[in-house]
Amino acid sequence: MVNTSSTGKRASSAICLINMNTIKIIIMLAALSGILMFLGALLGGRTGLVIALIISTVMNFGSYWYSDSIVLKMYNAQAVTEERAPLLYKTVRNLADKSGMPMPKVYIIPDKSPNAFATGRNENHAAVAVTSGIIAMLNKDELEGVIGHELSHIKHNDILIGTMAATIASAVVVVSSMAKWAALMGGGGEDMGGTVKLIATAFIAPVAATLVQMAISRSREYYADEGAAKVTGKPEALASSLEKLTLASKKIPMDANPATAHMFIVNPLSGNMIMNLFSTHPPLEKRIERLRAMKAVGSF
C-alpha cells in the first residue's frame, strides 16, 4: 500500500526546494542588475543609468538568440547523426525521452581534453556538445551521467539563467572600463574624493559581479548533478566520471574562453590557479560527496 502522506511530504519538500532555488536566482540576478545600474548612475547620473540599462538589454537579447551558435562555432563543434556516433546519440535520445523533453541536437568537439556542455535558449532549441576526449575516456554508465547532467541544465533553464548572468556581468565589466577611463579623464569632477570613489567602484564592481555569477553557476551545478542522478538512477557513475574528467583536464588542459567556463561540466580552466579562485564550479569533492550520499540513502 502506497504511503500517500510520505509521498505528499516528499513532493511538498521538492516544490519548496525548487521555489527557494528560484528565489535565490532572482535575488542574485537582481543583485547583478543593481551593480550595473549603480555603476551607470555613478558614471553619468540618470543618463548613465539609462545607458547601462540599454547595454544590459542589448547584450541579453543578443545572447538569448545567438549564444548557442556563437559558442558552438567558437569550439568548432560538429553536428553528428546516430550513424556517426551511435552510442552518444542513443544515450542523448534515451535520456531525453526519460526526462520528457525534445531531442536536442548533438555535437562533438574535436578536442582531446574531456569535457561537455549544453547550450540553447530552451528545450526546443537546445544542443549537447561533448569533446572527442570524453567519448574516448568514459564507459557507457559514466557517459550517461554526463549527458544526464547536461540535459538537466536544459530542463531547468540553467542555460538561460547562466547566459543572463554572464551577459549582465559582462556589461558590468564594460561599464566599469568606461568608468575607469572617465575617472582618468577627470570624470569625477574637481573633487578628488569623487574621482577616487569612481576609480574604486570601477575596480570593485567587476569583482562583485563575478562573485554573484559564481554563486549562480555553482548552485546550478549541484542541481544538475542531482537531476542526472535521478534520471539515470546511477549517481555513482556520475561521481566516477567527475573524478576522471577533473584529473584528465589537468593533464590535458582545454584552450577555453574564460567567458564560457561556466558552461562546462568540469572547469576547463582548472590548471590555472588564479582561475580557481574565481571558479564558476563548486569544489569537486563536494559534488562527489553529495552524489555518493544520494546513493547511500537511495534518494534518486
Q: Which of 57, 10, 15, 14 is nearest to 33 (CA)?
A: 57
Query: How far apart are the C-alpha atoms of 212 and 36, rounded to whole Å?
Result: 12
Instruction: Name the burial class of residue 103, with classes exposed (0-12), middle (13-18) and buried (19+) by CB atoms within 10 angstroms of its CB.
Output: middle
What CA–CA distance (Å, rounded) separates 29 from 258?
20
Burial annotation 38-77 (CB, 10 A radius, 16+ → b, else e): bbbbbbbeeebbebbeebbeebbeebeeebbeebbeebeb
3-class state of residue 283 by DSSP: coil
> Active-site residue among 142, 144, 150, 226?
150
Active-site annotation holds for 150: yes
Q: Which three cell numbers stand for residue 290?
A: 553529495
Catalogue the active-site residues: 150
